[in-house]
Structure 1
């Protein structure tokens, strides 16, 4: 009886406990406004975290792609560097009777990275013993060849005072034949005995060598900027390079193929003006730097110091080493350059040359000055301190008629109208 009663009590307690538990679980409290705000904030936080994850994934994917591109670029650079290691480019130094040739040779030897890759060959004319003695003091650091034809040259009576130009042309023809047909080099860099070179002279030519080989619209690489005076170049941008229709000379590289073409019709005199003629240039261009990699110290010579006092002695020689062999210079290839550089020139704002000179141009982008006639061009260049002459109708440093320079740090394009039809040979 007691057991039954106890069981009954326990059963009633269990029923009551179960009922209470059921009621407590089944009855849901009504959420307060504060609870709703918390839930809303949690949802926003979840969405923000989700969005941040998505953005991070985009950034990570971009970074991975950039890394892949960088690795590919480094791979191409390494391949190019390996290819360039096997390139042999001789330096042909033209000498005559300047005992100061040592100034030129000292610089070449000082900055030459590898004597085997860049052999120096001095070609001497004139049979000047003192100059030959200076050259021979360098021993095995260079090689000396001597122009054997020292006979007098017959020149027209009106050009007797220019006989030196005839001898120079004869010397050039003989020496280049030696380089390409006797020594069988495929490329050569030409330097004259009155030039000093920049620290990255060899790096510049080695870095641009692939362009010369690849782009048939190029026929030379030049170390010289005719408008390279300190006031009209950007000294902070020594890596800048341009295409030019004007043959600059004064430290330049050409290939055997070009010489094979020129050698069959090499002139008796004035070879540099001859090479600028449309019949020789054939619409081909050269590469030239913003800041020259050579500078002349030859005030006296057959040209009697023409332009030296006014321009040449003020040419800025680059002092900063630029790693051209590690740079992507494909922008200088004709198709890319014409679409990019030339397009940008004619998109630039037009300004007046006097406003530029007076410091009244407020644009922080490259600007353009327009010229329409030969006289207008010469007037503008004289006022801005540029060389104002033409050769076969081509202004110095011009590309498609555009002369690019820097004035007080601002890039300026002195350009013809956009409908330019080509060089006018009568502008010479």
Structure 2
């Protein structure tokens, strides 16, 4: 009997050993399609984030019954024994040196995809109540589902699995942990007579991770435009609704009579910024307009870049916008790549009260954005901007009569992947770290002599290590001719090309990083 028991005991140990070896071996996962917010590319499982995510889901079982307890227990058991791998901060060389095909910021794993599909199968079988999709039981209020379908097509985590954008979208994302130490960043939304501001506001509420840390203020001009006012009143106390009081006509030179709208906009901006900073006493503000739509990580992006904005005196704003952000001119997988730029982009940007104190005493009567780009205001300071825009505009009609929108703005790609910027090392953006690497990178790239040559070499069969190319422009005429052929913005503002840093405009062509650059002896812009 004892011999039989001993054989059984040895057999059991063997089975357990095989099972344990298989589990350990499967911890390192193969590369796969991006599937969600719990894994980073080319890394092991971030188990602490997974467990935290599952704990949050488990807390909801008692009150909302969104997920089955049995399945959650199964999920937790798969990851509870694995230690979190160490994360090494990235250097500027590592961040700027990524090549085509790099899925930076993409969170991926075949195993997690299978588990997500298991959750989806339960939902389709009626075992999981889809409160997330319907927007019930959320603090930001109920939505009209028809309008939600019209305005929010969902963040595509996997090409076969669209996820609805709704008020609960970010509640369980492990990056969204805001404490009392986090700075408050007010969101100031400008509106005149667009009822479609509902589209902008609904996205802001859908992606806002904290009401306390990101209060929303809406400043209305143009009087009490009935349809717009009704939309704003529907949000009740979820927004702070302020109204620009001076509705008088503005005296402008006869030659600018048709441009009077730009003077009214500047007046509105000046009044609302002063009210927000000096009456409501906010220290940091994100400025958006009534036709702006935002990316899923919009708030995460600004929360993560605020510390460097405050610390580095060479940085005066952070923008969500890339003026040359058309799909074929950016690296569409460089989700977390950020740049320094001498050009003020606007279109979803953040400033501090310190900067407003400097600007308010000389705020312009009109054309405020171009005024910001002048040397007297910019003072050689830069804005941070992303490779892939975190804002887009649907404003076909407006003061510019839609020309700029139809020819350019509507083609800019809006980021659709969440990047946990708060967990990344962004110190590479400080001037001391950035400039040396940027100049080395640009001027060690392979020189080409024409746009024709550049398009030819970038159309060749991709090499194992993508080659970077540089095309030199000597004059503004050269730049405009090259930019037009390369289908990027060709204009200058106060002598600065859009997106430029030290005169260099980065772009992406067929998997190759390219630079439209001045000579290596460049010293300053010529307005």
Q: Do the aligned residues in 2 keep the contact of 1:225 with 1:290 (CA within 8 Å)?
A: yes
Aligned to 1:399: 501
- Partner deviation per Cα, 1:118-170 (whole Å, 9 max, x = no partner): 00000000011210111111122211100011111111111111110110000
CA distance in structure 1 between the partners assigned to 2:454 and 2:246 by the alignment:
53
- Report how far residue 353 of structure 1 moved: 2.1
Say which SS state the counterpart of residue 372 (structure 1) adopts.
coil
What is the alpha-carbon root mean square deviation over aligned residues? 2.1
1:195 equivalent in structure 2? 292
1:161-220 alpha-carbon deviations (Å, 9 max, x no partner)? 111011000000000001111011111000000110000000010111111011000000
Instruction: Please tell me whether the aligned partners of residues 81 and 325 of structure 1 are also in contact (alpha carbons under 8 angstroms).
Output: no
The 1:116/1:234 distance shift into structure 2, 3 A limit, reads same
Q: Map residues 111-190 of structure 1 onto 2, 5 A cutoff.
A: 111-127=207-223, 128-190=225-287
The residue that corresponds to 1:422 in the other structure is 524
- CA distance in 2 between counterparts of 1:168 and 1:84 reads 35
Asked if residue 355 in structure 1 is aligned to residue 461 in structure 2, the reply is no
Corresponding residue for 1:98?
Answer: 194
Gaps of 5+ in 1: 1-66
For residues 179 and 371 of structure 1, the distance between their equivalents in structure 2, rounded to whole angstroms, comes to 43
Q: What per-residue deviation string (whole Å, max 9, x for no partner) do you get for residues 398-423 of structure 1?
A: 00000011112211111100001211
Q: 1:332 aligns with which of 411, 419, 429?
A: 429
Map of 2:473 onto structure 1: 371
Larger proportion of helix: 1
Q: Does the 8 Å CA contact 1:370/1:417 hold for their aligned counterparts? A: yes
Counterpart of 2:366?
269
**Larger Rg computed on CA atoms:** 1
Tell me the distance in 2 between the aligned counterparts of 1:346 and 1:192. Answer: 38
Q: How many pairs align?
A: 354
Residues 104, 194 of structure 1: 8 Å contact kept: yes
Within 5 Å, which residues of 2 pair with 1:13-162? 70=86, 85-127=181-223, 128-162=225-259
CA distance in 1, matches of 2:264, 2:407: 27
Q: What secondary structure, in the 3-state scheme, does the structure 2 residue paired with 1:263 have?
A: helix
Q: Who is 2:383 aligned against?
A: 286
Could you state the TM-score of these two structures normalised by the residue count of structure 1?
0.79
State the alpha-carbon separation in 2 of the partners of residues 214 and 84 from structure 1.
20
Counterpart Cα distance in 2 of 1:96 and 1:124:
6
The SS at the match of 1:298 is coil
Q: 1:113 to 1:360 in 2, by over 3 A?
A: closer
1:381 is the counterpart of 2:463: no
Q: Partners of 2:196 and 2:181 in 1: how far apart?
A: 32
1:318 partnered with 2:415: yes
For residues 273 and 380 of structure 1, the distance between their equivalents in structure 2, rounded to whole angstroms, comes to 23
Shift of 1:83: 6.8
State the alpha-carbon separation in 2 of the partners of residues 237 and 382 from structure 1: 24
Q: 2: distance between equivalents of 1:248 and 1:82?
A: 28
CA contact (8 A) 2:508 2:514 kept: yes
1:380 and 1:72, CA in 2 relative to 1: closer, same or farther beyond 3 A?
closer
Q: What is the CA–CA distance in structure 1 between the aligned matches of 2:251 and 2:308, rounded to whole Å?
A: 41
Distance 1:101 1:405 in 2: 32
Q: TM-score, normalised by structure 2?
A: 0.65
CA contact (8 A) 2:454 2:469 kept: no
Q: Is contact 2:291-2:393 (8 Å) kept?
A: yes
C-alpha distance in 1, partners of 2:182/2:407?
42
